[in-house]
Amino acid sequence: MFLTIPYVLGVDESPAKNLLRQIAARGGTFEGTLSKFTRDHLRGWLFQLPDPGDSILIVPPKTKLERIPATYTQVLGVEIADVAGRVDLSAADWLRHPQLGTGTAHQVVLDSWRGAFAYVEEDQEHEIVGLRPPQTGAVHAVHSHWSVSDAPATIVMPTGTGKTETMLSVLVSAICSRVLVVVPTDPLRTQRA
């Protein structure tokens, strides 16, 4: 049988009402064996992966963690109605996982960016995902400016050149703890609303 499980969030916070999340372990669909589980008044399901000792315990969502034996390191909280063929638990909540909530602040995210950025040029012919020339130029311009000044500056890019990817590239390459994105308001749009 196949079981789809959700990703695990290593960081899931809202500092100053800003959502901050980092995926610690990917979700996906896995093949294994699903069997009923009962122990000390605890009922649920046990999904056994092909690797010996690698299992996921599935219990009702309101189950208290202290009722779950510590030997189960991966525990999902969800009700399962149908166990035929494929079971999709991608919307389930992890109650316990070795990488769940490993980060306690946005510093964990910033640390994960160290060495993560490379100036790779996009090459559609060879299916290489990277930056297009206007994006590379803009990222270099930002780093050039920041090497000699800390004064505010503006990068202007035409429609369709990839402003979002450029902003994210600058954010990661410079390991910025904050970024300010200013979206100009359209006076005509405000009047029509």
Q: What is the pLDDT of residues 78-129, one digit of tens each?
A: 998 777 788 999 999 999 998 886 655 566 677 878 888 888 999 999 999 9
Percent of the chain with pLDDT over 70: 88
3 state SS for 39-58: ECCEEEEEEECCCCCCEEEE
Give me the mean pLDDT over the 180-187 stretch: 61
Q: Where along the chain do its domains lie?
A: 2-96, 113-192
SS3 label, residue 20: strand
pLDDT of 192 above 50:
no
Q: Which sign does the torsion angle of CA 86, 89, 94, 98 carry?
A: positive
pLDDT of residue 183: 60
Task: Name the helix (H) or strand (E) containing 162.
Answer: none
Cβ count near 47 (within 10 Å): 23
Mean pLDDT of 162-178: 87
Predicted TM-score of the model (pTM): 0.56
pLDDT at 139: 95
- The confidence score (pLDDT) of residue 40 equals 86
Residue range 125-139: average pLDDT? 94
Band of residue 155 on the pLDDT scale cut at 50, 70, 90:
confident
User: What are the tens digits of pLDDT across the range 8-62?
Assistant: 988 787 777 777 778 888 899 999 999 999 998 899 999 998 887 789 999 999 9
CB atoms within 10 A of CB 144: 11
Say if residue 193's pLDDT is above 50: no
pLDDT of residue 187: 54
CB 110 within 8 A of CB 175: yes
- Confidence bin at 181 (pLDDT 50/70/90): low
pLDDT at 189: 52
